[in-house]
């Protein structure tokens, strides 16, 4: 593990799946590249052309017929067809499903607990 990886507060899970992004000027399918408790990286079929300032978007990720993760996101960075988003809000049901997804993919509950502490801000001195 290099120093950059070690300083990261949230572990990203590589979870390539289809999702949908909805917001101002956008209602489009996308591909989840990775996801964490604090945000995600999405890939689009065309270069990103929607607003990047002060706009909120809703990502809907369907895990099964009755299990969905919905996150309210803001744009963090844009590189052509890949857009990084920061999670601004996530409901309790979605965070529970996302926590389970992250835990299963990390394979280490201690790493997940570290992420949850970082998310809560309780690990700050």
Question: How many Å from the N-terminal Cα to the C-terminal Cα in the chain?
Answer: 25
pLDDT of residue 107: 60
From the options 3.10.450.50, 2.40.10.220, 1.10.150.120, 2.60.40.1180, give the CATH code of 10-113. Answer: 2.40.10.220
Domain boundaries, the chain: 10-113
Please state the pTM of the whole predicted model.
0.73
- Per residue of the chain (125 residues), what is the pLDDT tens digit? 443 444 444 445 556 678 999 999 889 999 999 888 889 999 999 999 887 778 999 999 988 888 899 999 999 999 999 999 999 999 999 988 887 877 776 665 555 455 555 544 544 44
In the block, residue with structure tokens 């099964």: 64
Give ∠ CA 103-106-111 in degrees, rounded to 5: 80
Tokens 């890949």 belong to 82
Q: What is the DSSP string of 56-114?
A: -EEEEEEEETTEEEEEEEEEEEEETTEEEEEEEEE-HHHHHHHHHHHHHHH--HHHHHH
Q: How many residues does the chain have?
A: 125
3-state secondary structure of 18: strand
């Amino acid at each position: 593990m290099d120093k950059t990886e070690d300083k990261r507060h949230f572990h990203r899970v590589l979870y390539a799946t289809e999702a949908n992004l909805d917001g101002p000027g956008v209602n489009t399918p996308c591909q989840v590249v990775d996801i964490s408790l604090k945000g995600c990286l999405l890939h689009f079929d065309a270069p990103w052309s929607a607003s990047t300032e002060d706009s909120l978007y809703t990502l809907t990720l369907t895990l099964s017929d009755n299990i969905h993760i919905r996150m309210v996101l803001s744009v963090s960075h844009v590189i052509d067809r890949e857009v990084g988003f920061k999670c601004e809000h996530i409901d309790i049901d979605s965070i529970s499903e996302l926590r389970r997804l992250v835990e299963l993919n990390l394979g280490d509950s201690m790493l997940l607990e570290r992420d949850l502490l970082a998310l809560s801000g309780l690990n700050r001195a």
